[in-house]
Structure 1
Amino acid sequence: MLSVAHIAMAGFVTASLYQVGTLFAGRLDAQLTVGLCLVAALVAASFDVHAIRTDSYAPGLRRQTSKELGHRENLPWWVPPMIWGLDTGLMWSTFRVSATTWVLLVAALLNVAPQWSGLVFGGAFTGPLVVAILAGRGSVSDLGRPGPRRLVQSAAVATALLPAMAVVVTSVI
């Protein structure tokens, strides 16, 4: 339920930003919008490098859905994961391990990323979560504990820099 809600909300947010962007992005030069996304990727990578060095999180709100929600007896089993998934799927409303989330939001607003890119983002969240659950005992209770966040942040830096590297390589060729 958490993954389904996350994918649905991430898809909705990204598609909504894309639609808002259609009001002005068509008037902007395509090279400018791609350049702005590359700048956003470099800025995000620098934020992530800083977060790795200081053992912190990417810029964003410092809040999350209460863990106590999962212990309420009067709620059906599926409500807490759905609320957590919707909250994390908003992409801007909770702690961020990587600033690359902001790159996707900027790219959607500038109509560089397609409307459905939020679904891919949600899938990128869901895949590792499913693997972690299947590799473990099927419980997500241990997933909230501190783990290899630096590894995740380092992977996010590399991911954020991939578009910049692709543009540099293709312009040289």
Structure 2
Amino acid sequence: MSFSLYAATVPTYRQILGALAGVLDKAEAFCTEQGIDPAELVGARLIDDMLPLAFQVKQAAVHSLGAIAGAKQGQFSPSRDALPDSFADLKAVVAEAQAGLESLSPAEVGALEGRDVTFIAGDFRLEFVAEEFLMTFSLPNFYFHTVTAYDILRAKGVPIGKRDFVGQLRLKQG
């Protein structure tokens, strides 16, 4: 049985982004219940030299839907766009990535196999083929940023657990 590039990436991106959306809902509710300014959590960091929650959520979108777009274009660079600054904006970033991923077909993602993709950050360049870019660069970065977002919120007291991070499992059908 073969395992497609689509199956290895898109459903996982969708699962974890769905979980991230739920975690953001819980974080926003936590702010309301505890009387915390939402900006405090949106700008929260796990540790001083790490970037804030807003960056982590944005990068989850960048390393999912944005990575697929980069593979299509043959080039991927870090996003320099402004960070979301509210829970509404964070949730919109996640929703946009989810919607874009839902629109992708297995054939569309499968057609990326073997295509050249260059990661460019200033003068730094890394050359990949699409499947290695997605599996060895994008997917690990996606998980790093989603787990860091989760960890920031957990460290700030948001009542979330492992099930919240994992989200909706894809169980055997039939």
TM-score between both structures, scaled by the size of structure 2: 0.31
TM-score between both structures, scaled by the size of structure 1: 0.31
Greater relative contact order, per chain length (Cα 8 Å cut-off, separation 6+): 1
Q: Which protein has the larger Cα radius of gyration, Structure 1 or Structure 2?
A: 1
Higher helix share: 1
